[in-house]
Copies of this chain bind each other. A is one copy, B any other.
Amino acid sequence: MAGIDDVAAAAGVSAATVSRALSGRGRISDATRARVRAAAADLGYVVSSAASTLATGRTSNIGVVVPLLDRWFYANVIDGIAETLAARGYDVTLYSMSDDPAQRANVLDVSLRRGRVDGLIVLSLQLAEDELDRLLALELPVVGLGATSGRLPVLRIDDTAIARLATEHLLALGHRRIAHIGYSRDGDPGFDTPSLRRRGFEAAMADVGDATALFRPADLTLEDGHRAAGEVLDLDEPPTAIFAASDEMAFGAIFAARERGLDIPHDLSVVGVDGHEMGDFFGLTTVAQFPHAQGERAAATILGVVEDGADAADAALPFELVVRASTAAPAH
Contacts and interface: CB of A to CB of B under 8 A. Distances in A.
Interface residues on A, range: 35 or more
A15 B258 CA distance: 67
B83 A48 contact: no
A116 B61 contact: yes
Contact of A139 (B1, B68, B92, B115): B1
A49 B116 contact: yes
A60 B82 CA distance: 21
Interface in A66-103: 68-72, 74-76, 78-79, 82-83, 86, 89, 91-96, 98, 103
A75 B70 contact: yes
Interface string A101-127: 001001101110111100000000000
Contact of A54 (B54, B137, B226): B54
Contact of A96 (B79, B251, B255, B278): B79
A9 interface: no
Nearest to A252: B281
A109 B139 contact: no
A53 interface: yes
B292 A70 contact: yes
A222 interface: yes
A277 interface: yes
A69 B61 contact: no
Interface in A14-69: 44, 46-51, 53-54, 59-61, 68-69
The oligomer's copy count stands at 2
Contacts of A75: 69-72, 74-75
Nearest to A98: B83
Nearest to A114: B49
A281 B110 CA distance: 40
A69 B79 contact: yes
Contacts of A278: 222, 251
A1 to B, nearest CB: 7
Contacts of A114: 46-49, 60, 91
29 contacts: A1-B113, A1-B139, A48-B54, A49-B53, A49-B114, A50-B54, A54-B54, A68-B79, A69-B76, A69-B78, A69-B79, A70-B292, A71-B75, A72-B72, A74-B75, A82-B94, A82-B96, A86-B103, A86-B106, A91-B94, A91-B111, A91-B114, A92-B94, A93-B93, A93-B94, A94-B94, A222-B277, A222-B281, A226-B281
